[in-house]
Chains A and B, each alone.
Chain A
Amino acid sequence: MTEETTTGQVTLEQPGRTAALVLDRACVAYGDVPALEELDGVVHPGEAVALIGPNGAGKSTLIKAILGLVPVVRGRIEVLGTTPARARREVAYVPQADTLDPDFPVSVEQVVMMGRYRKIGWLRRPSAGDRAEVAAALERVGLAGRARDRFGTLSGGQRQRVLLARAIAARPRLLLLDEPFNGVDAVSQHALLEAMAALKEQGTAVVISTHDLAIAHLACEEVCLLNRHQYGFGPTESVLTPERLRAAYGGQALELRGDRVIVTRT
């Protein structure tokens, strides 16, 4: 099950080349219920990894564990050379846009500014510099003209871009995205991919959970194939093979013409 794995010990000691993310026989659990077992892999700065797996595979759980919101019970998860909780300051998280209340009276600008809150600190107000960061981040996702609009009035794809802008405004070294392409139109998908590519060029490591295997090919060098266990971690082409997808997806995978696999969500 874990043929493709590499462990992180080698990279940890090299200064300036600290791995963004190291999974070392990591097991994650909610209380007594194990959610993920024996995960291994390394993500370096400037690299993107796709978390691929069926519903309930534990993709969101892994993201929460990388954020330090779900405990690692055995093995370890190391983020930017330290524990997930300590690294949080330099990690940004992009939730699924449709988990947020579209009626909430908050403007696009205010949402993106939330990415600056941690740097602004308690009891202080955003400075001109923070506002400039917000404007630049909105520019990066192609929504500079929508700053004053209410968040809920934007389309699903545009809201997703606003949430990415919020993450960009935080200037993270590790970016985590939970299903960013669900129900997203082509224009927004293109904008999201471009903004992510720019971040990678600046050395930000990216972790994307997605159902979309085409996106994994397009945006990520590496794939972590998951379903409670790890079914492979490594270069996209070598992990996303019909055999491994069938193994990970079980009954949910449907083979077409030998080299294509359609994965249906239930």
Chain B
Amino acid sequence: MILTDMSWFDSTVHRAMTEAALVGALGGLVGVLVIVRRLPFFTMALTHATFPGVVIATLLGIDLYLGGGLFGLLIVLAIVAFSRARGQDLTAATGIALSGGFALGVVLVSAQDGFSKDLTHYTVGDILAVSTADLTSTLVVAVAVVIVLAALGKELLFSAFDPVGASAAGLPTLVLDFILLAVIEVTVVVTVPALGAILAVALLVGPAATARLLTDRLALLFPISAVIGVGCGLAGVWLSTRWDIAAGASIALFVGFVFGLAFLGSAVRGRLRSPAETTRHPVALEAVNDAGSS
């Protein structure tokens, strides 16, 4: 395996490049599900929610991925529970979880005198600090996610497009939803150390949103989105080493730049939706009974 050949990975930049390509591809693929299920805001809350988990894990000396993952799971459960409150929906609960989780992380970091790592390490990430162990974790997650997407692709598609129809057809939509959230969660957990709690959402939303502007075909969305993710990751690391700027931020900037280009492109080609298209047609008003005549 490549990862055991340590010579090439002795270079910080090489490790960062590999990590950027891996999280780019992973974020690109999983991002397609995030976009079609309309979960970008939820994903953003999840990335912020792993932050206190990582800080707590550092304090306790346990595995950072485990800490971030467990806390993310806790926040998902909290969001679902909050959203059942009267007069609330998922959006309000997600907003509270997002800010609350992030605030808890900041409080924990600031409360520690002489804490070995500073706040920015968690908020905007440090891709140049990835170890070969980090690379292995990301690779394992990427392979697992690809296997799950390939194996359950058609069922995930059905329950995403028409949840009621899917359960009427006998699909276990609750289990499928849980698998989807788990896939997003593990992707977030391996992306956050590289891009940070604030910037990780860029790779999980941007490439897929860009690909969506370029194609209507689901089969093309995944490869296009993954290629954009890898491209932005590599370009970001390259720019950061060349100009000595923050790597996570330059990756996120590339993501925004590519999305902007695609947006302008579709505006020029007139593929943007007019306001009239977003309103639904009014329901039919009446039904007439012609008893006896038909």
Contact = CB atoms under 8 A, between A and B. Distances in A.
Interface string B255-287: 000000000000000000000000011111111
Contacts of B168: 67, 69, 88, 91, 93, 176
Interface in A8-63: none
Contacts of B291: 237, 240-242, 259-261
A21 to B, nearest CB: 15
B216 A214 contact: no
B218 interface: yes
Contacts of B288: 213-214, 260, 262-263
Given A98-B280, A98-B281, A261-B291, A106 B161 contact: yes
B262 to A, nearest CB: 15
Nearest to A156: B281
B215 A105 contact: yes
B287 A104 contact: no
Contacts of A3: none
Given A106-B161, A114-B162, A211 B287 contact: yes
Contact of B171 (A105, A117, A156, A182): A117
A217 B170 contact: no
Nearest to B38: A101
Contacts of B38: 101
A158 to B, nearest CB: 13
A154 interface: no
B266 to A, nearest CB: 13
Contact of A240 (B169, B282, B289): B289
Contacts, number: 129
5 contacts: A88-B168, A114-B157, A114-B158, A122-B151, A237-B291
Contact of A117 (B169, B215, B285): B169
A137 interface: no
A260 B215 contact: no
A191 to B, nearest CB: 17
Contacts of A106: 157, 161, 218
Given A214-B290, A261-B289, 20 more contacts: A67-B167, A95-B162, A98-B281, A101-B38, A106-B157, A114-B157, A117-B158, A117-B169, A118-B169, A122-B152, A125-B154, A181-B284, A182-B284, A183-B283, A211-B284, A212-B284, A213-B289, A237-B292, A263-B286, A265-B285
B283 A150 contact: no
B221 A214 contact: no
Contacts of B152: 122
Contact of A88 (B161, B169, B282): B169
A120 B292 CA distance: 46
Interface string B116-156: 00000000000000000000000000000000000110110
B150 to A, nearest CB: 9
B173 to A, nearest CB: 10
Contacts of B167: 67, 69
Contacts of B217: 105, 107
A247 interface: no
Interface in A84-121: 88-89, 91-93, 95, 98-101, 104-107, 110-111, 113-115, 117-118, 120
Of the listed residues B165, B171, B282, the one surrounded by the most CB atoms of chain A closer than 10 A to its CB is: B165
Contact of B283 (A110, A125, A182, A215): A182
A265 B286 CA distance: 6
Q: How large is the interface on A (under 10, 10 to 19, 20 to 34, 35 or more residues)?
A: 35 or more
Contacts of A150: 216
Contacts of A237: 291-292
A-B CB proximity, top 6 nearest: A213-B289, A93-B168, A212-B287, A211-B287, A150-B216, A217-B294
Of the listed residues A104, A170, A211, A215, the one surrounded by the most CB atoms of chain B closer than 10 A to its CB is: A104
A264 B286 contact: yes
A123 interface: yes
Contacts of A104: 36, 160-161
A160 interface: no
A114 B161 contact: yes
B170 A118 contact: yes
B48 interface: no
Given A69-B168, A214-B287, A260-B289, A105 B36 contact: yes
B281 A117 contact: no
B212 interface: yes
A29 B161 CA distance: 27
B153 to A, nearest CB: 9
A29 B38 CA distance: 31
B96 interface: no
Contacts of B151: 122-123
Given A156-B281, A245-B289, A122 B155 contact: yes
A100 B166 CA distance: 12
B59 interface: no
Given A95-B164, A95-B165, A218 B158 contact: no
Contacts of A123: 151
A210 interface: yes
B287 A213 contact: yes
